[in-house]
Structure formats: C-alpha cells, structure tokens
Chains A and B, each alone.
Chain A
Amino acid sequence: MGPKIFALIVILVFFAVMIGIGFYYNKKGEADSNSDDYILAGRKAPLLIVAGSLFATWVSSATVMGYAGSGYTVGLGAYWSGASFIAATMWMGIWIIPRLRKAGITTVPELFEHYFGPAHRLVALLLSLGRDLGVIASISIALAQIFQSLFGISQIMALCITVGVVLVFTASGGMWAVLVTDTIQSVMIIAGSVVLIPLGIWKAGGFAAFCAQVPATHINPVSAGFSQTLGWLLMGCFISFAYQTVLQRGLAAKDDETAKKCFLYGGGMAMLWYITPFMVGMVARVVYPNINASDAYLTMCNILGPYAGAFFVVCLMASCMSTISSCILTTTANITLDVYKRFINPKASDKQIVTLQRVCLLVIVVVCAWVGKMLPYILELFWIGGRIMASGLAPVFVAIVLWPKARRAPKATLLAMIGGAAFNIAAQVYQSSAFAAMGGQNDVVTLFSLDPVLAGLPACFVILILGVLLETRNQTRETLLQYKVD
C-alpha cells in the first residue's frame, strides 16, 4: 500500500466520522427545533465540548502553516502575533461573556439593535461579515490546496470534496455537530503538531546540538522589536474582542460558570499549544535551512517519511475544517437573523429560519469558495476584514457591554464605528499604494510601516470617549425614562 492510498484511507475514515456526527445530531433532533438550538446548541453545551471547540476555532491552516513560517523567519518572538488573540479570549471569558449571556442575544449586531436601532445593527453586521467571509474564503482555498497536493487532482475538484464534507456535517447537525467535531479535531491538531518538535530536534542531532545551531535572534522573545510586538498585541486583542465565532462559544455553554471556565481552560490550553507552530518553524530553520518559510510546516510533516507525513497532513486538514465550520455557522446566523428575520420576514417561524439557515450555509460556502478561487490576494483579504473589524467594531462593542453610558449615546457609537473603520481603510489604501509604488509585491500580503490598526483604533477611541461624554452630559433620569423599554 503506497502512501497516497494510506492517506486516502485515513481521510475517508476522518470524513466518515465527521459526516456521521452531523447526521447523528440531525437524527437526534438537537438541531431541528429552533434557531437557538441550531446556532447555539440550545445554550446547553458542556464544559469539555465548548473548551475543545474554542481551542479548535483558534487553530486553522493559517495559524499552523502561517505561524510555522513566522517561526522559521522571526523565531519564537513571533509568538506575540498569535498568543495575543488567546490572552484576549481568556479575558473575555471573565468579563464580556457573562454580561452577554444576560443580554440573551445570538449575534453581535443584535446587541446593537437591542440598545439603538437598525442603522447600528447594519453597520455592525457589515463590519462583522468582512472578517468572517474573508476567513471562510481563504481557509477553504488552503484546505483545497492541501487535498490537491496530496492526490494531484484539480483545485476545483478538491474544493468540492473538502468543502462539501464541511457543509454536510455543519448543515445536518448545526452547532452541536460543530462543537463535537471541533473537539475531535483539536485532539488531532495537538497530536499532529507537538510531536514534530522532538522529532526535529532529534534529527538536528539532539537538544544540545540543536541549541548550538539555532540563531540567537530566533530565541529572543522580542526579536521583532518593541513597535511591531506592541502592534501584534493590540491587533490580536481587538480582533478577538468582537470575534463573533468565539463569542458564540460562550453563549452556547450551559450556564455562566461553565462559559467562564470554558474560556479560561480552552484559552489556557490554546495558549500552551500556540507556541508549537513557532517552534516547528524554528526547528525547521535548523533542520532544513534552505526552504521557503511558507513550506516549513509541510516539510516538517515529512520528517518521518511519507506515511507519517500523510497523517500529519490530515491533522492539518482537521484544523482547516474546524475553523470553516465555525465561521459559516456564524455568518449564517448573521444573514438569517440580522437580515432576513429582522428586515425581510419578521414573522418567519423557527422551522422556516432553520431551513433557511441550511440553504444559507450552502450559498455562503459556494460564494466564498468562488471568491477565494477568483482572487489571488486572498491572504491579504483575510487580514483586511480583521483589521477593519478590530478598529471599528471591537472598541464600540466592548464599550456597550462594559460602559452603561455608551448604551445611551447612539450618535457617538455609530460615528465611532464608521470613523474607526474609515481611518483603518484609509491607512490600508494609502500604505498599500505607497508599498506598490516602491515596487512591493502587494498581491499576496502588504507590509505596513505602521499597522493600520494603530491608525484606526485611536480614531475610534477618541470619537467614542469624547462623543459619549458630550452626548450624555445633559441626560437626567427624566430624559432617560422617555426612552425606557421593558
């Protein structure tokens, strides 16, 4: 049996288990009764499942392959760029999630309408969708490319097979299927990545020999410099704060205490694991000093030969599938609840919404896969949406949750969202043009002299804080009672 046949068997078994879980929850009826069951697992998911799913959501091909590339180029100092997401996630579990659960919402835009109106909901929706659609498109293409490289089939065929499997188990089983498959996938991700480090060190001649060969910059925790390190920290934190896919994990937990523990345990576990791809990259630098940084992880996968390599690659596919399934469910919730039910058919029954959500999953996946295939700069798209969300939506969202005065300032909150996003977009456009004019290759990823998040965030904060203080300065109890709702 050749390595390709072995890989095919492993993948078929893996796909069969994923689809089986989807059908199991469909037959059990857990995903059929209403939208809360379908999108939030009926708000009764247990600790282990939510923590495992949270971990898997933070791990994708972008994290595994991208961060291994960063580890190859920069070393362990690049850990800040990934771990900052996790630090913010743990913090959210303590302060943001318990409050959101009290609000009884399903999506982030819903919270905006809860306090303001449809204009806020629409702006928040647009800012959320940019990131999620970019993630689905880019990771769908990455998943297809891995499958294509294993079996030598066309990209479109690889895309249909891999994304088709994700679609089947997500559409049939809803959030329950996503939570359980995510947990299985997280075990595979840990097993398929951590083991590469000792194997690489062993190949380098042992620990002492490895330490003697590794460049000094690669073991310096701030090798990227203070400014870049701070930029990574801020961007990671603010992208996390409004990352709906993660927030919905907290809403799906069975009670407040479970939600808090899920974020602390899931985040704590992810934080420990997150050093792994950077270390794999650093080890690859010593063992394979003349490869492309982006090939570091896949090259390390073959360190024990093609059979073990096939297993490691299946683990990588698991990481892609867990992220796509979570993001399409989130986007489905946005489109069906924030657009269809809110603006088109407010009287739609729960059964109709769940049916529409299944159709919506298919449409989202097809559109994203098509966009991902057509656009060559998909990696940049992945970040554009995240940066805009971090600069426009995240600070206002956190303010609404934690600062009661912000809930009484409709103009300031709307302006802050639009202003933060606009400053970010302007910084991205201006710097991308300047980068291109200097001969930079900005068709894949743009290198910024000042991260656009650092332009958008201060603008958003200034508008938000000054605006809220000005707008609420004359509000008395009598004024507030005019706007009171039950």
Chain B
Amino acid sequence: MKFKYVENDPMDKVPAPVGKMIATMIGCVGYMVVYLFIWCAIYGWRP
C-alpha cells in the first residue's frame, strides 16, 4: 500500500506545539465547566 510524501507540507507550516494544544483544550473545556458551575451556583447549588 502506497502513500504520497509531500516534502515541506504546507500543513506543517502552521505550528502545532503539543503543550499548547493540550493547554487550549483544557481552556476550552474549562470555559464550559466554569460557565456551567456559575449557573448551577446562581440557582443555589453548593459543592
């Protein structure tokens, strides 16, 4: 089975450092979690 090797692939010109990718995923999920917890707290939920 063959593949097509693209030297200097244009996709790789956009940097994607693993640490930053993980940090932004945590940020996006964190945004969701914080927003949910705020609404629950507004309605009277306490941990």
Contacts and interface: CB of A to CB of B under 8 A. Distances in A.
A375 to B, nearest CB: 33
Contacts of A211: 43-44
B44 A219 contact: yes
Interface in A242-278: 267-268, 271-272, 275
Please report whether the interface of chain A is mostly helix, strand, loop or mixed according to DSSP. Answer: helix
Contacts of A100: 11
Nearest to A114: B4
Interface stretch (A83-91, A291-299, A307-315, A450-458): A83-91
Contact of A115 (B4, B14, B24): B4
A94 B24 contact: yes
A296 to B, nearest CB: 17
B47 to A, nearest CB: 9
Contact of B36 (A99, A275, A483): A275
Contact of B11 (A216, A401, A484): A401
B40 A483 contact: no
B43 A214 contact: yes
A271 B35 contact: yes
Contacts of A52: none
A482 B5 CA distance: 8
Contact of A90 (B12, B28, B33): B28
B32 to A, nearest CB: 5
Contacts of B40: 76, 219-221
A411 interface: yes
B21 A402 contact: yes
B5 A79 contact: no
Given A88-B28, A271-B32, A102 B39 contact: no
B39 A87 contact: no
B46 to A, nearest CB: 10
Given A76-B39, A91-B24, A219-B43, A483 B16 contact: no
Interface in A337-357: none
A118 to B, nearest CB: 11
B25 A91 contact: yes
Contacts of A480: 5, 7
Interface in A73-108: 76, 79-80, 83-84, 86-88, 90-91, 94-95, 98-100, 102-104
B32 A86 contact: yes
Contact of B14 (A86, A88, A99, A481): A99
A83 B3 contact: no
Interface string A356-389: 0000000000000000000000000000000000
A100 B11 CA distance: 7
Interface in B1-28: 1-7, 9-14, 16, 21, 24-25, 28
B16 A95 contact: yes
A411 B1 contact: yes
A192 to B, nearest CB: 20
A99 B16 contact: yes
A68 B7 CA distance: 50
Nearest to B13: A102
Interface in A183-229: 211, 214, 216, 219-221
26 contacts: A76-B36, A76-B39, A84-B32, A88-B28, A91-B28, A98-B14, A99-B12, A99-B16, A102-B10, A117-B2, A216-B45, A221-B37, A221-B40, A271-B32, A275-B35, A275-B39, A279-B39, A401-B11, A407-B3, A408-B3, A414-B1, A480-B5, A481-B5, A482-B5, A483-B5, A484-B6
| 3 residue pairs, one from A and one from B, having the closest CB atoms | A102-B10, A483-B5, A219-B45
Interface of B: 1-7, 9-14, 16, 21, 24-25, 28-29, 31-33, 35-37, 39-40, 43-45
